[in-house]
A and B are shown apart, each in its own frame.
Chain A
């Protein structure tokens, strides 16, 4: 097995997908032809990272009691740190906004409250609007090149696609997910499955990615389903409705003033 370090600007695939929604893009490293762990990660980065993105998505939260909630939102993301997300439906949640200006710099704004609140500490681990995606999943942007070592564990066919299985091990103790296992499509270089583990080895979250489409010459998963093992009665699916890359985003969007009531 080959052990490699992650490159700057890279991140775990679900993180990248969430990054596409609310930020954290980076530049893509060059791709080589060798299917080493490093090469696989570079090819994944090439598909999953970007400078700016505008996304419209549907979030479907399914509960074990049969209840299903559907929310829609639009998000703008720029660079590694800046993102803005606004829910547009249902009507009672419309106007709920989230702004991130960097690691641990995240604010919520609810129209009925009329004032932004900064999310800190353990709150970052809570579910975004009651979903399985935590605020932390959205706002954290770990430099995985510094934080993780990666090894190839093997190959496997997943949903009819050949995949490489990578295992990531955190180098520092302060990571939300000290280890992860990724299934990477061996031809399209997008993650199809991701398992995130606690230090104890306990599985925390499982992400299943699908509906892989070509956008601007790259492959990108348009659907991700996240199961949170600690929130057993729910499962959340994100479906991209629109996904635009390298769009022009005014700086004004990423401000508290805009968060608290400015129109786009």
Chain B
């Protein structure tokens, strides 16, 4: 008889054995099921969380490529306006006509003192092209009350929490004082035309949005900006676009500019690494727990069937076949559990893709600019990898009981 023809009855025998103690089989199966469900869901959840974060981060902070004056990133915490990109009117058309570029948005960020006449507090002004930012830093969509300033109108869009702290509302006037591109003191006094809610409390506590032109006027950044955020068709290709833009812009700007892809802007990497580590830990914990349960139940199976294995051995069944039989039993249970678990986890992830998962409470008090409702991003590969991990864990966990079974001597096993 050939080996392949022998394997078939072995699998059939293993499958039949799984039905001998239904309760134990169900216990083993449910351990795999739960672990694979969690792992499959976690794949989609973390993927969604990262996508959401990258998207928010790109729109708020990094763009897919960010262009700044060369020395700006190193001193960014001071928001230095004198380290600016000049000749904006000349550079923007060049950037926007690049074949990879979908949009290029100049922004000005500067620290200000916000004064309501009686008291003042620290704030951050973001000057941006309100119309072109739709779909990016969608300031118009953030307006909770009031309206955006009209073209040429000096008007402030104030974070609703900042407005609350200062006791001001739409129609009131605020004075802003801050630095200028000439490292001197500048300012602006204008009425509040609207209150904004970004959904991120730390931002809403400090941010004031201005039209780009108003921000330029306040900071003396004539025909200049502190940063240009570039968005491309495929953000995975951002590094190539950054390199290409760098080559194009270098001869145009004396003093130097730097085009950096989102991937090369430090903070993102730290977060990705952190998410990967968290994910690995979650996976390990759940699979390890499932593994422990499988080791336990399969060990009980082996101990209960000591005489049976002794008999099989005495009848001439090879130890490798006994080993294979037990491993197969574990993997069959694992496969069924993993498939059901994978489907459950996938179903849950797919359901949440439509409803979203509100994490507002979990993120309360955390100082990072992401939305608090997450949508998992499920992919077929998550299901396949989840099932494969479940089956492999079940197989690996059965190794110990199987090893014990084949170490028994037939005569002793029959006596037990």
Contact = CB atoms under 8 A, between A and B. Distances in A.
A61 interface: yes
Contacts of A74: none
Contact of A92 (B113, B119, B220): B220
Given A92-B220, A123-B113, A112 B177 contact: no
Contacts of B187: 110, 112-113, 117
Given A67-B82, A117-B120, A96 B182 contact: no
B175 A117 contact: yes
Interface string A78-122: 000000000000001100100000000000101011110110100
What are the 10 tightest A-B residue pairs by CB atom distance, in nearest-first order? A113-B187, A130-B183, A117-B115, A113-B189, A110-B187, A115-B189, A93-B184, A115-B175, A117-B175, A129-B185
B186 interface: yes
5 contacts: A96-B185, A110-B185, A113-B177, A117-B115, A130-B179
Interface in A62-87: 63, 65, 67, 69, 71
A224 to B, nearest CB: 20
B113 A69 contact: no
B188 interface: yes
B185 A108 contact: yes
A189 to B, nearest CB: 36
Contact of A120 (B71, B120, B189): B120
Interface in B162-220: 175-177, 179-180, 182-189, 220
A245 B350 CA distance: 81
Contacts of A113: 175-177, 187-189
B306 to A, nearest CB: 74
B189 A114 contact: yes
Contacts of B185: 93, 96, 108, 110, 129-130
A61 B183 contact: yes
Contacts of A69: 182-184
Contacts of B177: 108, 110, 113, 117
A92 B175 contact: no
A89 to B, nearest CB: 12
Contacts of B220: 92
Interface in A116-149: 117-118, 120, 123, 129-130
Interface of A: 61, 63, 65, 67, 69, 71, 92-93, 96, 108, 110, 112-115, 117-118, 120, 123, 129-130
A123 B123 CA distance: 13
Contacts of A130: 179, 183-185
A114 B190 CA distance: 10
B139 to A, nearest CB: 23
Nearest to B185: A129
B186 A117 contact: no
A234 to B, nearest CB: 9
A61 B185 CA distance: 14
Given A108-B177, A115-B175, A130-B185, 8 more contacts: A92-B220, A93-B185, A108-B185, A110-B177, A112-B186, A114-B189, A130-B179, A130-B184
A117 B113 contact: yes
A113 B117 CA distance: 13
Contacts of B82: 67
Contacts of A93: 184-185
A67 B81 CA distance: 14
Contacts of A63: 183
B165 to A, nearest CB: 15
A45 B23 CA distance: 96
Contacts of B117: 115
Contacts of B188: 112-113
B186 to A, nearest CB: 7
A130 B186 CA distance: 11
Given A108-B177, A110-B177, A113-B187, A118 B182 contact: no
Nearest to A120: B120
A67 B186 CA distance: 19
B74 to A, nearest CB: 12
Contacts of A115: 117, 175, 189
Contacts of A96: 184-185
B120 A92 contact: no
B113 A129 contact: no
Of A96, A112, A114, the most chain B CB neighbours within 10 A belong to: A112
A47 B176 CA distance: 40
A213 to B, nearest CB: 29
Contacts of B119: 120
A63 B220 CA distance: 19
Contacts of B186: 110, 112
Interface in B218-235: 220
Contacts of A112: 186-188
Contacts of B184: 69, 71, 92-93, 96, 129-130
Interface in B325-380: none
A202 B188 CA distance: 37
A118 B113 CA distance: 10
A31 B154 CA distance: 59
B382 to A, nearest CB: 50
Contacts of A117: 113, 115, 120, 175, 177, 187
Contacts of B113: 117, 123
A157 B180 CA distance: 42
Nearest to A116: B175
Interface in B116-134: 117, 119-120
